[in-house]
Structure 1
Amino acid sequence: MDIQHVYTKKRSEFGRQVIFTDRAVESIADIPPNPDLSREYISRNPVELAIQNVREFSEHWVNTVRFETENRGINHVEGGWPKDINPLEPDQTSRFRKKTEKEDGFTRSMLSLGNLVEHTIKQNNIVDIYENYFQNLEPDVVEEAPYAKTVNIYRDPHKTRRAANHISWYADGARKLAVSYCNLEFQSGTNDSFIDSYIWDTENPTKPDLHLKPISPLVCIEFNPKDTHQLVGGCYNGQVCIFDTRKGSTAVEQSLIENSHRDPAYKTVWLQSKSGTEFFSASTDGKILWWDTKKLSEPVETLILDIEKKGRLENALGAMSLEYESTIPTKFMVGTEQGRIISCNRKGKNDAEKIGNVFPGHWGPVYALQRHPNFLKNFLSVGDWTVRIWSEEMRDDCIMWTKPSVHALTDGQWSPTRSSIFFTTKMDGTLDVWDILFKQNEPTLSIQVVDEPLHCLRVEEPHGRLVACGSQNGTVTLVELSDNLCVQGKSEKALVNGMFDRETRRAKILEARGRARRDARGKSAHGEKTEKATTDGATLESELKEADPIEKAEKDFWKIVDEEKRKRDRKAALAGEKAAAEAGETTQAEEAAPATAETTE
């Protein structure tokens, strides 16, 4: 295909118009030759030379050959079966094998092919060209310290400062980032007329690749893992909406507000399904709603998070985070606003059967919840000031936890490549990298990303080298990790598995000991009550109170307070007596002074 382009230029841009006229020859300059220089040159006759007193210009154009690419796929099936043979049917394949083996040429073919294969096998046994002779040798160098560097910074182009609440990586490579922007501060006075969110190209931090225009500010957003052009967003008014990058910036589908959440939709997660059109959402109104993009007018299914299993919405716990593993399609976990962690099963027929184990969780909202990528029975939760690692075998307490931080934690995630590493963000703008095999009392690496609170993070999969962090002022920072933070060692997975198993056994032993002590204390209290049925009730009540550690601690506390009060009263009394004594001495001195004067007179 020929490509032509016409270049146009105004007449005024060429300069003053040149007008040629005829006139006689005029000598402008006459420079005689230098006889000294003429001896150094050889004269030629004739000599022709073209001279111009202006700069020479040239114009060139070329049409390059267009390079066209195309994708081709091959449907590979087992063996070279004929068209009339279904390789998935054992009866047909066995009959075809027996028929082929009975043919006359089968034996001759196998013998001739066997000689070739035998010759190749002997050659391979003599020299193995793929043998690695140095795989057991370890390099005699010191491993470098872990580090991270900032790659790009993506700033919200709008002048109104909004927090970057959620980040989603492009499903097919680390090429794009979808970021939702929303101000979740209570009774904030900012102008919410601008509600756009963006899709950023990781190579272009100056301008968003696409503006997303929802019906309400987006609290969360997620790329569809099966259709990279499709995204689902949870809105501040409780609705959910679907975006398609091929159809523009506006939402192509959105739920009806009367069938949506009553609070902001804090999390949306795509489900593992054949169609790739199903997802579910969570909100602090106490509901989990399942949706299908083919019909967003109403949810497919609803779950009320009432841990008493009575289905009462007034008793439901508000959902803040969701955890869903595609390899376990029927199970999911919910982190609540009240700090509890609820394990659910979608196979249940009603809400009571869908709600399973309830873990105690944190003292505040659970901001992040994720299963370990390699050990699915263990999961991580982030809330208040700590990170806790749980095991599904232990329902009453976690198996590992971090030391309480000075600043509150806001988000966390496991590394997709290294089994022992997870990441957390804090309110002081710090990104912490924890390696539980290296040390548990402090992070392995702390990075001061920004000087404002960080609200979210998301690690790029499957390489785990890039970490995107969103801040309160809408700045998204892309951080690249060093090799030793994203490349797993040979025995790391086994060591982490052993650590989790060991901590689970320790927690089980401690739980069994505590249960045995409580049972023994209950039995002893019951036996004493039976034997001393006629004993004074006040004495028995005091013994039971002493057995309760909380009441004992309160009693000791008030005892210390009373002693401190008595000490202060005694000090005040002594000070009053001392002041009175000094006042009495002064009065006696004053009375004695006139008497002395009179005696002198």
Structure 2
Amino acid sequence: MDISYSYAKLRCNYGRQPMFCERGPEMCDTIATNKAEFKHFILRNPVHQPTQHTPIYWHNEINTIRAEYTTTGVNHAEGGWPKDVPVTDPEATQRYRRKIEKDDNYISCVMSGASGIDHYVLQNNAIDMYRTYYVEMPSMPDVERSSCRLVNVYRDLPSRRPISSICWQPDGQRYAVTYVNVNWNRVPRAPIECYLWDVENANYPEVTIKGTCPLLDLQFNQRNTNVLAGGLMNGQVGTWDRRKGGLPVVTCPPHVAHRELVRKVLFINAKSGKEFFSTGPDGAVKWWDMRNMSEPTDEMIMDAAKSSFDVPTMAKATGGSALEFEPTMPSRFLLGTENGLVLCGNRKGKTPLEKIPLKFEAHLGPVWSVERNPNFLKNFLTVGDWMVRVWSEDCRESSIIMSPPHRHKITAAAWSPTRMSLMVVMQWNGVLAVWDFLRRQYEPALTMQVCAEPLLAVRMHESGTLAACGSRNGNVYMIELSPNLAFSDRSDKGILTAMFERESKRERILEARMREIRLKRMQAEERGGSPRGSTGDAGPPIGDRDLVEATTAYMQHARRELAAM
């Protein structure tokens, strides 16, 4: 039997896809059994076999010390030529080349490397680099995969201090972080410095921000990105300049500051670009001008008046816990309070009712976050009572979308600036939940266990791909979202608009129905009769027909969405 076969083939045909064909089996050789070997078989019973039942341990050593890197550079101007050979003279360089080529070491190096070079040259000639392989195979549809990954961790240097706020620089290269660690008497238990981090360097902060007392919030100026405004724990507000170091440039006097700590500071869309406003638990909202910090330019007491004759007082004011400002609405803002209300303020209002035209009873406890949707300004989210709610300014009595109550406390949430239907939610157990209302409304589209400690703050990057999450141990986790979670499709805006309108219409119908029930109950109580009997005698209410129609339309739309999936 021949065990070798030689054939000729062009080198350019090597490496191509092999083509196989079906073929029947062939008998190459057979070996007959030897019956004489059967006599040598001995059955042994029992068989003695040693066995080790004790546990086996290994001793491994691993280096867990964090590596620190530095960036250095060398300017090599002349290249690899000797000092006595002028690089700009072609004759001198040619003479030097001839001298090197006559050297025995040069000849031996070329001869030793010729075999390897010849191998790679032949390999390049064998592979057709300009051919597109597997073109005839049908392309598979792209599978949408939602994912997020941890890019970097920025750790607090001196100690583990909880993070109170995070703010991105408008150009997206830096972000400011404030740390607060105090006892019940508001005495600092750790250093009070705050940091300005560079995204590319997680080893050391770029600038250290210092104040007379702990900073609770820092915000970048949208026009001059080197200037920051912050709120202190003693009620004062101040400004810092990154180019001048970490000390404050100017702070307001104590007698015009807030009576309590400053929760939030935000820049407003003014012509000068140097105005901002602040709020705190004292119930006042104050506007400041960086050019003159001796007194606030304006002040509003957040006391929700019931009539135009009521005079707002600081004794009845509700303390602020969250603040939101939209640049396209320069005179209006949203304030989340400590007693669960969300107040819509109007700076240009003259009467108490015009200054606070809208009031939402959002939560039973404090409102930890409030933020408008960047694409749908009438809709905003609130965080409190272990849940997240999405509100519409057209529906004041109830939210249009709400998450189920979670087992772990929800601490913060933020909308995505590029994907209009997505929001990022932080939880006390260190889980990051990504909610996409175009995919699911009853549960998050993606969850990720970021860390073991609680997450306290989150701020989205303007590109929509990065989310900075702050924890209780002072760590900032940079999370990168997949492209399908960072960008919107062409049809997303229309679908989300229809969804918000549908939910708003449903809530308006329910509000009208509840008002009708309350009115009939009041009328029955005034007549001295039974509310249940008077409601039953009046016949079927008018709002039930609209409610049934809205429910039918919603169920039909849900069936179409399920069929499309």
Q: Report TM bin, short chain.
A: 0.5 to 0.7
> What residue number does 1:191 align with?
189
| Aligned positions of 1:480-491 closer than 5 A | 480-491=480-491
Instruction: State the Cα distance separating 1:332 from its structure 2 match.
Output: 0.6
Q: For the residues of structure 1 that align with 2:150 and 2:75, how far apart are their CA atoms?
A: 44
Greater helix share, 1 or 2? 1
| Aligned positions of 1:536-551 closer than 5 A | 543=530
> What residue number does 2:437 align with?
436
Instruction: State the Cα distance separating 1:491 from its structure 2 match.
Output: 0.6
Matched-pair contact (CA < 8 Å) for 1:310–1:352:
no
| Aligned positions of 1:7-156 closer than 5 A | 140-156=140-156
Q: For the residues of structure 2 that align with 1:350 and 1:289, how far apart are their CA atoms?
A: 17
Question: In structure 2, do the counterparts of structure 1 residues 343 and 519 end up closer, same or farther at CA, with 3 Å as the change threshold?
Answer: same
Counterpart residue identity of residue 245, structure 2: G
Counterpart residue identity of residue 165, structure 2: H
> What residue number does 2:243 align with?
246
Q: For the residues of structure 2 that align with 1:4 and 1:414, how far apart are their CA atoms?
A: 46
Matched-pair contact (CA < 8 Å) for 2:337–2:367:
yes
Alignment: residue pair count: 401
Counterpart residue identity of residue 521, structure 2: R
1:383-414 per-position Cα deviation (integer Å, ceiling 9, x unaligned): 12111111111111111111111111111111
> What residue number does 1:479 align with?
479
Moved over 6 A (4+): 544-548
> What residue number does 2:504 align with?
504
Q: Structure 1 length normalisation: TM-score?
A: 0.64
Counterpart residue identity of residue 444, structure 1: A
Matched-pair contact (CA < 8 Å) for 1:311–1:352:
no
Instruction: State the Cα distance separating 1:423 from its structure 2 match.
Output: 0.7
> What residue number does 1:95 align with?
none
Instruction: State the Cα distance separating 1:186 from its structure 2 match.
Output: 3.3
Q: For the residues of structure 1 that align with 2:232 and 2:516, how far apart are their CA atoms?
A: 50
Matched-pair contact (CA < 8 Å) for 1:303–1:351:
no
| Aligned positions of 1:323-334 closer than 5 A | 323-334=324-335
Q: For the residues of structure 1 that align with 2:196 and 2:533, how far apart are their CA atoms?
A: 62
Counterpart residue identity of residue 177, structure 2: V
Q: For the residues of structure 2 that align with 1:189 and 1:251, how far apart are their CA atoms?
A: 21
Q: For the residues of structure 1 that align with 2:351 and 2:246, how far apart are their CA atoms?
A: 39
Q: For the residues of structure 2 that align with 1:402 and 1:266, how far apart are their CA atoms?
A: 26
> What residue number does 1:17 align with?
none
Matched-pair contact (CA < 8 Å) for 1:195–1:216:
yes
Instruction: State the Cα distance separating 1:353 from its structure 2 match.
Output: 3.0
1:157-206 per-position Cα deviation (integer Å, ceiling 9, x unaligned): 013x211110011111x2111101112563477624x2110000111101
Q: Structure 2 length normalisation: TM-score?
A: 0.68
Counterpart residue identity of residue 221, structure 2: N
Matched-pair contact (CA < 8 Å) for 2:322–2:335:
yes
Instruction: State the Cα distance separating 1:448 from its structure 2 match.
Output: 1.1
Matched-pair contact (CA < 8 Å) for 2:521–2:531:
no
Question: In structure 2, do the counterparts of structure 1 residues 251 and 346 end up closer, same or farther at CA, with 3 Å as the change threshold?
Answer: same
Determine helix, strand or coil for the equivalent of 1:313: coil
Instruction: State the Cα distance separating 1:349 from its structure 2 match.
Output: 2.5
User: Which stretch of structure 1 is more off in the superposition, 435-444 or 288-297?
Assistant: 435-444
Instruction: State percent identity of aligned pairs.
Output: 40
1:457-502 per-position Cα deviation (integer Å, ceiling 9, x unaligned): 00000x1000000111111110111111001112111111100000
Q: For the residues of structure 1 that align with 2:506 and 2:521, how far apart are their CA atoms?
A: 23
1:405-460 per-position Cα deviation (integer Å, ceiling 9, x unaligned): 11111111111011111011011111110011111111111111111111100000
Matched-pair contact (CA < 8 Å) for 1:304–1:351:
no
1:238-285 per-position Cα deviation (integer Å, ceiling 9, x unaligned): 111100011111000111111111211110000001110000001011
Instruction: State the Cα distance separating 1:142 from its structure 2 match.
Output: 3.6
The runs of 5 or more residues in structure 2 that have no matched partner are: 1-73, 77-101, 105-137, 536-565
Matched-pair contact (CA < 8 Å) for 2:429–2:455:
yes
> What residue number does 1:280 align with?
277
Determine helix, strand or coil for the equivalent of 1:314: coil
Matched-pair contact (CA < 8 Å) for 2:182–2:189:
no
> What residue number does 2:27 align with?
none
Instruction: State the Cα distance separating 1:521 from its structure 2 match.
Output: 3.1
> What residue number does 1:518 align with?
518
Q: For the residues of structure 2 that align with 1:273 and 1:260, how far apart are their CA atoms?
A: 22
Instruction: State the Cα distance separating 1:351 from its structure 2 match.
Output: 4.5
Matched-pair contact (CA < 8 Å) for 2:264–2:279:
yes
The runs of 5 or more residues in structure 1 that have no matched partner are: 6-47, 51-137, 530-539, 549-601
Matched-pair contact (CA < 8 Å) for 2:174–2:196:
yes
How large is the Cα RMSD of the aligned pairs? Answer: 2.5
Determine helix, strand or coil for the equivalent of 2:484: helix
Determine helix, strand or coil for the equivalent of 1:509: helix
Instruction: State the Cα distance separating 1:546 from its structure 2 match.
Output: 10
> What residue number does 1:89 align with?
none
1:58-84 per-position Cα deviation (integer Å, ceiling 9, x unaligned): xxxxxxxxxxxxxxxxxxxxxxxxxxx
Q: For the residues of structure 2 that align with 1:470 and 1:455, how far apart are their CA atoms?
A: 6
> What residue number does 1:298 align with?
295
| Aligned positions of 1:376-415 closer than 5 A | 376-415=377-416
Larger Rg: 1
